[in-house]
Structure 1
């Protein structure tokens, strides 16, 4: 049972990058297996896991998003089972998985991380194939280019952090493979010509520096982070396609702000979607519309009011921004719930990253922190929580990295503590 659950967790990110099917279904299977594991007396965890009092506040916080969704829907008569399911996957399911995973041996559980490395390999290979066989910008059939590039860079950085997590008896070959995966992921992101993905790079750099140089001084941390960011920027600008999209963005911003605020350009469409979301939020700042689907339903009316163009009304049904979507749908309560989903686990990961734990545990904390903070940044220009599969993967990875970074009585071998 435990080995199968680890395999399922490893397969979820891999399937999400490889195809549009399977990841969401496996998340259901993981929850069922977690419940079975919790109900199985012989799988009782060690006493230190049972008395993990530090999770009490976390459990309460992670249940609040679902409560806010139900409250808003009840008050606004906007019942939506899919929105409730989203809140469940981002909240209570994380808690269920976490306490089930704490019953699995750490040495066995860490192999689930290989799923993120495999996802990076699949993502990089997919982008490379599209770049070689199609003209223009590589676009996968399951994610749009921005979401795919976002996840690819995230998994590539997780591969880098996993240098501190041994998986085999061949450390040299393992390190080379992980570095190659990271490099391939970065190249893949460059080939997507995606602009906003690079906004998260300083965060990834800072987390990596703290992981591998825990005693680094703040001034040196900032200097090194800026140096790595500058190097990454130079690498990205070496692509003519990327440069063209940067120049295009400048032109679109100028047009949208000075000439036509309803231009059907990439940047101005996002401005219109944000304007529409803000208008809906102002109608009821506390509870929002009470249903995520009401945003799309409101666009024709907003078009008549001159807030969005006809093209936006006919081709877009979401905000391209997670926070604005939460605000339009569920008001201040929804925005607070989203902040909890981001920062409740992020605070735990940051604290563990700075603690003198074994390197594999700190690396897992680094991966979890990168996951939370990158979704904050990525969510500014893309609706990362659009699909159930991404929502499920986020919740599953949060639980996985919390379990792997959990301070245990046995901290691993001497090699792992170095």
Structure 2
């Protein structure tokens, strides 16, 4: 009865009239509710809000505890592992560039965004459930926003593909897709949802899928079967045989419906086999063909410079030599000066194995934390762990076909979302003891 009562207490976000809600809770509550949507609505919004949140969080951590109401940080294993992982990418980039004797300040910006998320994580991990519960509808609102932008202010890209006015289709489609997945996973997260809330969250899933299809970002679609299998495995433990049969069939039917009724989705999937056939016959200047050429060049660089790579912009600056050697077509070399189209190859070629391991840590360390928290009693923390694991697995897959962290916006979005979800999954105030927490 204690757990159910605590969940009931947290079922509705507090309002200004609630005795448990103070002005100091207003900013984190508003931040948790609006961050995903604000990321897509405002150019630079993800970066600006994440930096503001980090500055405020750092100020809170350094201020006297009597002012902030926060308990002293105990620095347990979760705190240490998370913060070290978030700092490792910046450290690897600095080591690589110092080794090569050229430190380029602009290349430090994106890696530093991971570290910026650490203070936010430390503050949110100490937050009370009455504040954290404001994240309940944030993913649904973000997913609905992703579709709304495409319907109201689309940016045409040709070939039937659209995106937002300031974000390219690949990143936009990937973010919309993962927000849709998190929206459906948030069903009955903090309590048994009312019918209107359920409708909103289900609509969030549909909106995220629709936005992804409209952008034609097929690289992100690779994550769908993997994420679906992960969710079915985790959520299916202890479920009836009927549940284990009907839910996978419902997922397959939904995806088949998208394929049948969306000509754009069919064309994008069909282009894969067409591109492979052309590649085999020597026509390498296709979307897939260019990627395969760049991957071959990246593998060659890693073989020749395994430990610390070529240094900052090393992959970009090597494109002409590969083109001169006939390994890349002029078109592939030109596009390769923009990006490698694979996040791991980007770090491996520029910063070697050191950079690759650092990059891997920002997926693996939170992923392991989430996996361990799946064994927690059913409740908000357990569900947040599944959502977090889904998020990092999806973003890892997104990075197989595009550089997910070449934009400040996408780095900030990933780092901030991981900080939020890790804090929610490991918050020191467990749902089972929330009823014993004194009012704020």
**Match of 2:330?**
310
Provide Cα deviations, 1:202-234, integer angstroms capped at 9, x if missing partner. Answer: 2332344356544249x9998678645533441
> The residue matched to 1:138 in structure 2 has which SS?
strand
Does the 8 Å contact 1:346/1:368 carry over to 2? yes
- Could you tell me which runs of 5 or more consecutive residues in structure 1 were left unpaired when the two chains were aligned: none
Residue of 304, 320, 331 corresponding to 1:300: 320
| CA spacing shift, 1:275–1:232, aligned 2, 3 Å | farther
Measured after TM superposition, the shift of residue 247 of structure 1 is 2.1
Residue of 312, 319, 338 corresponding to 2:359: 338
Residue of 77, 92, 97 corresponding to 1:73: 97
- Could you tell me which runs of 5 or more consecutive residues in structure 2 were left unpaired when the two chains were aligned: 1-23, 436-440
Residue range with higher mean Cα deviation, 399-408 or 59-68: 59-68
Residue range with higher mean Cα deviation, 240-249 or 55-64: 55-64
**Match of 1:190?**
213
Does the 8 Å contact 1:20/1:142 carry over to 2? yes
> The residue matched to 2:318 in structure 1 has which SS?
helix
Does the 8 Å contact 1:72/1:288 carry over to 2? yes
| CA spacing shift, 1:268–1:51, aligned 2, 3 Å | closer
Distance in 2, Cα, partners of 1:302 & 1:394:
32
Asked if 1:392 is matched to 2:438, the reply is no
Asked if 1:230 is matched to 2:252, the reply is yes
Residue of 184, 202, 207 corresponding to 1:179: 202
Distance in 1, Cα, partners of 2:103 & 2:278:
40
**When the two structures are superposed, what TM-score results if normalisation uses the length of structure 2?**
0.83
Distance in 2, Cα, partners of 1:165 & 1:186:
21
**Match of 1:28?**
51
Residue of 350, 358, 373 corresponding to 1:352: 373
Measured after TM superposition, the shift of residue 397 of structure 1 is 1.1
Distance in 2, Cα, partners of 1:125 & 1:311:
35
Distance in 1, Cα, partners of 2:93 & 2:242:
43
Higher relative contact order (CA 8 A, sep 6+): 2
Residue of 75, 78, 83 corresponding to 1:59: 83
| CA spacing shift, 1:184–1:64, aligned 2, 3 Å | closer
**Match of 1:108?**
131
Distance in 2, Cα, partners of 1:66 & 1:221:
45
Does the 8 Å contact 2:89/2:111 carry over to 1? yes
Does the 8 Å contact 1:162/1:363 carry over to 2? yes
Distance in 2, Cα, partners of 1:222 & 1:279:
45
Measured after TM superposition, the shift of residue 349 of structure 1 is 0.7
User: Considering only aligned residues, what root-mean-square deviation do their CA atoms show, in Å?
Assistant: 2.9
**Match of 1:215?**
238
**Match of 1:368?**
388
**Match of 1:121?**
144
**Match of 2:268?**
245
**Match of 2:13?**
none
Does the 8 Å contact 2:54/2:117 carry over to 1? no
